[in-house]
Structure 1
């Protein structure tokens, strides 16, 4: 019973659950995914292509443009959106991640996963971009 409750976290009143193992594998191994945040009026933005990293059984994204990214601002404000990765399409909840130690781990995964694109990795691990780290969770 307690575990079931833990799997349905509430972030800002939004019911969330954990990723299915097969989904987290596909999404976490994707080099790029598309996300669209909800706008204030409840419609989805135009999807943007972004990098995604996996730490354990959690998925994280960042805004390459930092706080200026429109998708990020709406994701932060509304907390909901949609993700596409391969054949997977899921409604997601965006949860701010501020733990410095976890952000260090996320930086390390960016460096490893995208090592062939180091000129783009460097901006992704800048302090101002780290402040846009969002955990993605399946959202119902």
Structure 2
């Protein structure tokens, strides 16, 4: 029995997250996801000013998708410094070798970290 229906996303290199805009329309964007402990986390490489991040903070109920799976989630901002450091390490390890990972390891991106909770 899977305790967390999002657990399989830990090994997926990229997911798509759907969000709602202020005008009520919807959109989606591909993002990288990491697993720390029992939780999944996403982070905006553009920091707190990233569009999808701002939309999820404003309306935290969202949907994530990978190959054929759809999962309703609730996005929770992460402020705990220990957890943020663990998420940074997880991004560095999972995406090591990618020229894009560096943008997810700095303080700006760290300030835009969300925990994805099944709903």
**Fold agreement, TM-score > 0.5:** yes
- SS of 2:97's equivalent? helix
> Which residue of structure 1 aligns with residue 17 of structure 2?
35
Residue ranges of structure 1 left out of the alignment (5+ in a row): 1-17
Q: Is 1:97 the equivalent of 2:78?
A: yes
Within 2, Cα distance between the matches of 1:31 and 1:97?
Answer: 21
Aligned mate of 1:127, from 95, 107, 116: 107
Distance 1:81 1:43, change over 3 A: farther
Deviation at 1:101, TM superposition (A): 0.7
TM-score, normalised via structure 2 length: 0.90
Bigger fraction of residues in strand: 2
> Which residue of structure 2 aligns with residue 10 of structure 1?
none
RMSD over aligned Cα, in angstroms? 1.4
Within 2, Cα distance between the matches of 1:57 and 1:38?
Answer: 26
Structure number with bigger Rg? 1
Bigger fraction of residues in helix: 1
Residue ranges of structure 2 left out of the alignment (5+ in a row): none
Matches within 5 A, 1:101-116: 101-116=82-97
Deviation readout 1:44-68 (Å, 9 max, x if unpaired)? 22x1011000001100000111122
- SS of 2:16's equivalent? strand
